[in-house]
Amino acid sequence: MLKNNEIDEILITEGEIREKVIELGGKITRDYQGKDLVFIGVLRILKDLDETIVGKDVLVVEDIVDTGLTLDYLLRILKSRKPSSLKVCTFLNKSARRKVKIKVDYLGFDIPDKFVVGYGLDYAGKFRNVPFVFTLNPEIYKGELK
């Protein structure tokens, strides 16, 4: 159970997330109507794709784009496999930390350069199931994050 003293600042509310998911879902549905779309969820780069993406429309789905280094690497690999199109959808974008240029085609929210948790993002295995995005009270991690 989340305690009030764990929250530093709520950045994105549950309602704002719900509205954005509906908005992005509608836009992606319209843009890819009738196309052979392959979604690639980025969790860990440990496993290759089970199917070919040659000639297919590919949408890479990320939780958060930070420096862009990992996503840039992944996009280069996927482009070499000759998809018909290759686009990126991300829930959160920290453009202030970007080290390489990444085009985000479908954007949930731009956020400041702060460590965030909630709505699938965790710290030490906690806060992932919280239905909004927030920054942690610095007392929780006491200098562990850099």
Over residues 65-79, the mean pLDDT reads 95
Q: Which of 128 and 4 is assigned the larger pLDDT?
A: 128
pLDDT band for position 45 (50/70/90)?
A: low
Among residues of the chain, what percentage have pLDDT more than 90?
81
Q: What is the mean pLDDT of residues 11-24?
A: 98
Please tell me the pTM assigned to this model.
0.89
Q: What is the mean pLDDT of residues 26-48?
A: 88
Domain boundaries, the chain: 4-25+36-141
Per-residue model confidence (pLDDT) at position 36: 87
If DSSP codes are grouped into helix, strand and coil, which group holds residue 55? coil
4-25+36-141 CATH pick, 3.40.50.2020, 3.40.190.10, 1.25.40.10, 2.30.30.140: 3.40.50.2020
Q: Which helix (H) or strand (E) holds 116?
A: strand 116-117
Q: What integer best gives the mean pLDDT of the chain?
A: 92
In the predicted model, what is the mean pLDDT of residues 91-107?
96
Catalytic residue among 66, 72, 110, 113: 66
- pLDDT for residue 140: 83
**Cα–Cα distances in Å, from 94 out to 107, 108, 119?**
11, 11, 16
The verdict on whether 66 is a catalytic residue reads yes
